[in-house]
Structure 1
């Protein structure tokens, strides 16, 4: 029997970055629980959709894909217009889209802070923070106009709460002679998510629109090298990185009535990273 407290059945959900490793997991979690899901992504071509989702998922009438650049108001509103025409006003928004710099990045975008390129900093902030602001603005305005309750979930990062541990990445210089410094842009952008969330929680509180942050830590990928994984896991009390589906419960909780008295909060699920 379905637990109504945690039910998201028939809720209309918008998930940005829904083609990514975690975004796709959130999509699958909502879809499997009877929600209607609109995926907003930059790359939602048929070939990629078929690689990410099972046939019964991407052919479901409860799943729609929209080509959206979240830094574009016109893209957002065009997709929302189409989605509302089919389903109605969203009940849930998961702001998951974002960009980061991986250890495999070239040295010109992963070197010392003193030389970090301004254009890269602006790009990361534009997508991760401005894009979240614009999506909250576009979806939240429609929730208010419709007079319906809603849940907005902004995805943060441990690196928005605490500074990156640069020692984790020191092995790159030992192996290649080229240093990798985890850049400032991602941390700066993600840290802004927390006060954007708190601002909107107080601004829309009496409209019955809840706004919370969800903070995950690193997720295992088979493309990560063993040195990075070993260094990263040594910093996690649980001793391992997250599996890609282990954050689904937190997202469903924040979207459901189980968290109906929760707003302006930060739900941290990081294997203990920020407990040190």
Structure 2
């Protein structure tokens, strides 16, 4: 049920200029009640004809790695031939691999099944220790919850960071854990594994425009710099300064999308310093200059 709930929960919250950004439809080879784990039934009314109508196709994982249903594999192949974007959550990657869509492409699945996926489909360039991977029009996520990151990335690609972050806030999930070689970042943020410094991270988010130092963060947390660095990394997978830089780039993205501020003001407001520093960091992370990013994703242009 979680696999089915993730896309509906996130895509249904995406609004652009007050209008829904997506319409979500669940489908199955045999419409009707489906038994899920936990003994609960889900009623799915549409057959695989819905795949032919979709712009984005997401194959939910089932926890099973048995031979994929040939009807689903055929529907996914047709969708790929039609140029649709296709994604999988968790073990849904086995369906994409069976359809031959991942041959020679980077992909991932739940960590417990990566070896099995690699053994069964050796042509897949299997990526481990990532939340999700995008290679061309195909996206694959690791475990169930990483499907949240995958769906947010699709929203971010379609409508920009501001819309994606708004959806993340409504869903009470972390807005910034992107990853994959074509996803506007090279390294995904790992999931947070602790909350002892959550208040300090929230405080830092409110002060991104200030020149925060390790001393400032340690003072707020009431610990030494050495303790801050060690425990911060244990909780976030990043050093405090790496985490700050990631959040500042995300703040800059939102400002580029939602305001007409000059580049030097965007840089100051996001804590990146100067317009030159803004350009350097944004281009390295996003592959676009700040001006090009604004031209592609500005909400002001679409609303005007």
Asked if Structure 1 and Structure 2 have the same fold, meaning a TM-score greater than 0.5 normalized by the shorter chain, the answer is no
Q: TM-score range by the shorter chain?
A: 0.3 to 0.5
Q: Given the two structures, how large is their TM-score scaled by the length of structure 2? A: 0.33
- The structure with the larger Rg is 2
Q: Given the two structures, how large is their TM-score scaled by the length of structure 1? A: 0.36
Structure ranking higher on relative contact order (CA contacts 8 Å, 6+ apart): 1
